[in-house]
Structure 1
């Protein structure tokens, strides 16, 4: 194995959320295997997460505060627009710091650009002949609905490899003319010592309380499911901008006695071990880490089949149940089926424990190293 300098370039070093957790985990896994790892963030995190006292990687952030967005070019002034020129000069100054970081790296270094916003600065820097790997951490369909879609095609077209999260998403990007595609699944974030005994009458949901995570849809489904299985609790972990609205919706649906808004948890394995079923009601996803975590705790999962990453993790009728996106009646039916059948819960939970091992962190880290070696040839 070749020991390398590996530099992650991301929107932020330590933003709380799936991408931030993935980044910190992979950086740690690569450092543990002897690589010299740095995470460079463009801006400070809005919601920082704890990286621990002595993370096994270096960190650097280019801006002391989040830089303003690119100003719109005023037609009469064109490229001579002073506001545009100031912004570009500001970006180039930050990109020069990246250039220094890249030039200090040893030959054979790898630059992993975690998000396309960060790639705008990498594109201005001198990558010094190093391997550059870009990433898109969302499904093709989610990207297509956002401004990131055209930016992915613009900024990642010349990187050595652009990685999607699944083969299905990679194929869709190839159809858009991106011929440098590959895919790489996320590694299992946790390997708990003990799985859930699945004895508590609790269905768990973990995620940001936002429109994208679809907790409003989950409440609608729970309004159908709860009366059919009295005594069960839906425990919702997370915080977010939609919390007040969701609490009001819960009361309006008459669910206050069976829904527990448990706030943000620092102990995800503990929350999962205290549950018997996991549910995800997102409108869109990439490759959701929390599904991996739930399965690693021996929980059968019920989820909307909203992205290739979801069905890559959960196999319908084997280790969980998938509902058509947004179909709350189908989601409710799947929940009732698992809540009412202890033998089915146990069978799917045990299968989840077994099938999630294909995302073992060591196996995924080796795949990354094999990719580095391949791209260096």
Structure 2
């Protein structure tokens, strides 16, 4: 198959970019795969796709590039196709409308995959007839605004399939969106095995990673760790990531006197070398669409103490086997979960081994197989639909010829 992914900006760094590269690179071992980035803002991508994946862009935002598009007239005109209710809509314009439309009209492929709601809308409206149209949901339906849900309900019926990253979100789509004829499938994100030996459970570090954003509730994690440090002062917490909450979290660490126990490490890429230095991972989010960092930690042999927030963690962690699920926003419960693993070396190591084994189901090879099966089924249906349309057209053509011949004979009889 020829498979084409359409992504916001493949030259940055983020969960959608990583999982798209993982999936595309694995599919490219058997298929012809390209990633088309709407925007390009740097010479080389932060994350490199596999060698067989082609990468190209539609709008060049590099000011030193001869193709720089930031001063073209259409760049300053608001978009009319990309939905205004999408969080990134201010980056889209009449120029992106036109270039995405031109790309989709001329796209010669078997499957075209959108990777965010606004791009899925573009595909639904503008992709030419023929390719299977798949829209990926990397967040959750519940996090979208009412106007955006209305836009999706209006345009998504033209898609062939919508994929979500959790079963819970797939159920929500089936229940609330009313998309007759559109296949709704839950396919989780793929996370490759690290090229390192897994953690051995001896390092006295708890590791957390992700954007320093309110939904991650690192403030709760820091308050939890104050209780951990009081009982086990030999353990430390490292938090990897960047974001708007950094100054606030730094102030909280100082206020609680945890400057020798809690460290804001900044972003790290790749994270695998940092995970394996730890023995326990923590996730204290109030909301997750999936939980990439949970899987990353488990693939490095770390049991995870995670809040049982909607959608992601409960579908990844088997509570009491490869990690612990605790209530959202409860520092005492989070501290108790961390201390349970910190204080029991055998339990921690056993759960780490189980985490390593159970997380293998998220290997990109398994995820690519599921997408391949979906694409194969949909392209087969498309061929069947095409055959039915051709058969119907042939039957109609024969019927029209018979009708016209009968009318001609009737006119000859009347003339005689």
Instruction: Please give the TM-score of this superposition, normalised by the length of structure 2.
Output: 0.79
Give the structure 2 partner of residue 110 of structure 1: 111
Deviation at 1:32, TM superposition (A): 1.7
Q: In the alignment, is the contact (CA less than 8 A) between 1:28 and 1:56 conserved in 2?
A: yes
- 2:27 corresponds, among 19, 25, 30, to 30
Between the aligned partners of 1:69 and 1:171, the Cα distance in structure 2 is 38
Between the aligned partners of 1:224 and 1:209, the Cα distance in structure 2 is 21
Deviation at 1:297, TM superposition (A): 1.1
Between the aligned partners of 2:193 and 2:45, the Cα distance in structure 1 is 17
> Deviation digits for residues 67-88 of structure 1, max 9, x if unmatched?
668479xxxxxxxxxxxxxx97
Between the aligned partners of 1:336 and 1:7, the Cα distance in structure 2 is 47
Structure 1 unaligned segments of length 5 or more: list them. 73-86
- Higher Rg: 2
> Does residue 178 of the first structure (1) align with residue 161 of the second (2)?
no
Q: In the alignment, is the contact (CA less than 8 A) between 2:125 and 2:155 conserved in 1?
A: no
> Does residue 357 of the first structure (1) align with residue 354 of the second (2)?
no
> Deviation digits for residues 68-109 of structure 1, max 9, x if unmatched?
68479xxxxxxxxxxxxxx9753442133323541xx24xx1
Between the aligned partners of 1:37 and 1:372, the Cα distance in structure 2 is 13
Q: In the alignment, is the contact (CA less than 8 A) between 2:22 and 2:49 conserved in 1?
A: no
Q: In the alignment, is the contact (CA less than 8 A) between 1:116 and 1:155 conserved in 2?
A: no
Q: In the alignment, is the contact (CA less than 8 A) between 2:132 and 2:378 conserved in 1?
A: yes
Give the structure 1 partner of residue 393 of structure 2: none
SS in structure 2 at match of 1:355: helix
Between the aligned partners of 1:89 and 1:206, the Cα distance in structure 2 is 37
Q: In the alignment, is the contact (CA less than 8 A) between 2:41 and 2:60 conserved in 1?
A: no
- 1:319 corresponds, among 322, 327, 333, to 322
Q: In the alignment, is the contact (CA less than 8 A) between 1:217 and 1:328 conserved in 2?
A: yes
Deviation at 1:292, TM superposition (A): 1.1
Instruction: Please give the TM-score of this superposition, normalised by the length of structure 1.
Output: 0.86
Q: In the alignment, is the contact (CA less than 8 A) between 1:189 and 1:289 conserved in 2?
A: no
Q: In the alignment, is the contact (CA less than 8 A) between 1:192 and 1:296 conserved in 2?
A: no
Q: In the alignment, is the contact (CA less than 8 A) between 2:114 and 2:136 conserved in 1?
A: yes
Between the aligned partners of 1:224 and 1:68, the Cα distance in structure 2 is 52
Give the structure 2 partner of residue 162 of structure 1: 162
| Aligned residues between the structures | 354
Between the aligned partners of 1:223 and 1:147, the Cα distance in structure 2 is 42
Q: In the alignment, is the contact (CA less than 8 A) between 1:272 and 1:297 conserved in 2?
A: yes
Between the aligned partners of 1:298 and 1:152, the Cα distance in structure 2 is 39
Deviation at 1:243, TM superposition (A): 1.1
SS in structure 2 at match of 1:11: strand
Return the structure number with greater relative CO, CA threshold 8 A, min gap 6: 1
Between the aligned partners of 1:376 and 1:307, the Cα distance in structure 2 is 33
SS in structure 2 at match of 1:221: helix
- 2:302 corresponds, among 299, 304, 307, to 299
Q: In the alignment, is the contact (CA less than 8 A) between 1:214 and 1:283 conserved in 2?
A: yes
> Deviation digits for residues 159-207 of structure 1, max 9, x if unmatched?
1000111222111111112342111111223344411011111000111
